[in-house]
Copies of this chain bind each other. A is one copy, B any other.
Amino acid sequence: MSDNGFQDVGLGWLEGSGVHSDIVLSTRVRLARNLQGHAFAARVRDGEREEILDLVRAAVQETALSGGAGYELSATPILGRRLLHERHLISRELAGLAGDTPPLGSGLFMDPQGGVGVMVNEEDHLRLQVILSGLRLHDAFHRVDELDEELGVQLPFAYHQEYGYLTSCPTNVGTGLRASILIHLPGLVLTKEIGKVLQGIGQVGLTFRGLYGEGSEVVGNFFQISNQTTLGKSEEDLVEHLQKIVGRVIQYEMGAREILMRDAPTVIEDKIWRAYGLLRYARSLSFDEVMNLLSGVRLGMSMNLLSGLRVYTLNKLMIFARDAHLEQAAGRPLREAESDLHRAAYVRRVLATEGDVSADAVDAQDDRETS
């Protein structure tokens, strides 16, 4: 198993390309698959997990993942596992962040570009996943579907004529597909419309979560929206349904932003620029505060109130300002207070080099306000 470091693995989605990439940060589609003849994760016998990992390792060499990165997580240092988790490539459980190191047989394979991968021996034997920048559900499904076909040639996936793909958790039976998008909804939060919108999402079979998956808090107005069930519909239908609803949510968000700019433009501008000023100069920043401030700056960039910043820079800060990434950069463990100092130093260095809002933009702003 090759482990070619962590520098760029799984970070392709940061690029900020794709439709609505200012509002929809990323699209993720995953397929849950299990192997015939092996017990589901909760019931595997000794040595069975390692057998499964060996089977998957051999199989991925025949696919687009060949030549990419591979991690046997039980042998991966804790910092590496934390990095992969912060990049949304492995779950908290698979990373063994709850305290235990991951059991033998836990693995991750990523393609050379890092957008396509397979988690091994998480809740299911295999979880095929694709992460792309922006709103690209069909594209992401197409890619994960290709990988599914390639792997299906190599591996005997457990499949039932009536129910479809069999999975560890009943909610994944059927297509085994979960499609989700990471979306930024500050307008709906500020206009207090978000509750209604999230309720509506629930009524059409979708669900929402915070930035780091189930049970994680919503920070910075970032939401993950995904399908709730996988049974009784085709993959295409599930993806198309999510696409349609996300399209509507984007429309609501745009509407909310228009209302804000109509009713309280100076309040919004002030909020956005204060967030930028704090990111640019603070000496100590918690991760939650960074996310909340980045939310303001992202809104400003998206509404053309603040120029000279790229989506890429804001996306990058969301990952590289996390604890494990700061420790990797520092080359040593950091205590929490230290971490906050390093985070602030990193954020302002990035903004000074990649996000220096031009004086022109500021002056134009001034002229308008004081005219």
A interface list, Cβ under 8 A from B: 266-267, 269-270, 272-274, 276-284, 330, 337, 341-342, 344-345, 348-349, 352, 359, 362, 365-366, 369-370
Contact = CB atoms under 8 A, between A and B. Distances in A.
Q: Tell me whether chain A's interface is mostly helix, strand or loop, or mixed.
A: helix
A187 B344 CA distance: 24
Nearest to A285: B270
A359 B352 contact: yes
Given A277-B278, A352-B359, A344 B270 contact: yes
Contacts of A269: 283
Contact of A369 (B267, B345, B359, B369): B345
A270 B337 CA distance: 12
A279 to B, nearest CB: 8
Nearest to A353: B359
A370 B352 CA distance: 16
A359 B280 CA distance: 12
Given A341-B266, A348-B362, A370-B341, A280 B283 contact: no
Contacts of A280: 277, 280-281
Highest count of chain B CB atoms <10 Å: which of A277, A344, A348: A277
Given A348-B362, A349-B366, 13 more contacts: A266-B283, A266-B341, A267-B284, A270-B283, A274-B278, A276-B281, A277-B277, A277-B279, A277-B281, A277-B282, A283-B369, A345-B370, A352-B359
